[in-house]
Chains A and B, each alone.
Chain A
Amino acid sequence: MEFQELLSEKIAELLHELSVLPFDNMHHEGALAGPAVLTNYTSWLIIAFVAVAVMFLVASNVAKKRLAATEASGNPSELAPAGRFMGMVEFGVEFIREMASDVIGEKDGPKYVPLLATMFFLILISNMFGLIPGGKSFAGSMGGTVALALITWIVFVVIGFKKNGFVGYFKSLIPSGVREMPLAGRLILGGFLFLLEFISTFLIRPLTLSVRLFANMYAGHIVLGIFSAFVMLFWPLVQPALQFSIGGVAVGAVSILFLVIMYAFELFVAFIQAYVFTILTAVYIQSSEHAGDH
């Protein structure tokens, strides 16, 4: 077989694997039967959920024991993080707590730490699963990220209506300077701004939130997959029928180098995307909390 044919076949296989498939039949073609099929992505989502739950349970258990030991002995140094795992989890939670009080405010911030920390660790751990060969991040499917973005959307819309009232929240979409203008200006400019702000707040926010995470994880997965396919085809490991050449070995070596570099970059992206999703959730919550102020 020709090299080009094999490469396009590998890419088609990669894209097929990234589409939503039932977990017990990865070669499924066409539409899925029935709404309640356990798909490949759903099973990776469940694995990520279980990992987050186990992490929080272990961490809170250890923390409780430490607290009890401190109260019993009266020695505050017992509260120091025990071991690498606890240190890591405490660092992560501290990071989210600082971010929440930085963005949302000292008073209201701590209320949202559980939501933000769950989102952060869920996305981070799921993205890390996506980097294990054969594993997938549920954020690599549009369905998963839309569900997460909808949670954010519901939270900030409900908070906005609760804090400002039904009319007040819609009124707060128009800047206060425009609200003090004469009637004609209020109607024309205010109406136009209301339309713009309405679209950007209620439609564009959840869209970009979900597409950003999806696009980053999907593209990262494909880039890693294509470099792996290059290595496989230039160093004929799986298809021995391909010709073996010195130039091919050199290209394969460069591909494997790039694969390692991209892997490191994807680790960075996995963290950054989880951080960006969480911080934007915090910013949207903040803008609903203080919608009336400006």
Chain B
Amino acid sequence: MEAGLIAIGKGIAYGFAAIGPGLGIGIIGGKAVEAMARQPEMAGRLQTTMFIAIAFTEALALLGFVLTFLMG
């Protein structure tokens, strides 16, 4: 019973933690494509910036992922 509840809790915790970063990464990717289409000569620097921004956004989802391990 308790193990089942913990498993459900893990799923809920990671699911909710993934909502925000999912939206954020979608916005970052879309805007990066928009910017690259407007100024193709900047594509290299935009890509670098995009990956950095994605990495910072993704951190929130990763904290949720770590939480599932802590819920032992």
Contact = CB atoms under 8 A, between A and B. Distances in A.
Interface in B25-57: 44-45, 48, 51-52, 54-55
A99 B45 CA distance: 9
A8 to B, nearest CB: 13
Interface residues of A, number: 14
A103 B55 CA distance: 15
Contacts of B44: 102
Given A212-B55, A276-B55, A280-B55, A103 B62 contact: no
Given A207-B66, A211-B65, A211-B66, A102 B48 contact: yes
B48 A279 contact: yes
A275 B65 CA distance: 21
Which secondary structure characterizes the binding site on chain B? helix
B70 to A, nearest CB: 12
Interface in A197-225: 204, 207-208, 211-212, 215
Contacts of B48: 99, 102-103, 279
A29 B48 CA distance: 44
B49 to A, nearest CB: 10
Contact of B45 (A102, A207, A208, A275): A102
Given A204-B59, A212-B58, A279 B66 contact: no
Contact of B51 (A204, A208, A275): A275
B65 A279 contact: no
B45 A215 contact: no
Contacts of B55: 208, 212, 276, 279-280
B66 A280 contact: no
Nearest to A99: B48
B62 A208 contact: yes
A283 B53 CA distance: 11
Contacts of A207: 62-63, 66
Given A207-B63, A208-B63, 17 more contacts: A99-B48, A103-B48, A204-B59, A207-B62, A208-B55, A208-B58, A208-B59, A208-B62, A211-B66, A212-B58, A275-B51, A276-B55, A279-B48, A279-B51, A279-B52, A279-B55, A283-B52
Interface of B: 44-45, 48, 51-52, 54-55, 58-59, 62-63, 65-66
Interchain residue pairs A-B with the least CB separation, the first 7: A208-B59, A211-B62, A208-B62, A215-B65, A280-B55, A212-B62, A283-B52
Interface of A: 99, 102-103, 204, 207-208, 211-212, 215, 275-276, 279-280, 283
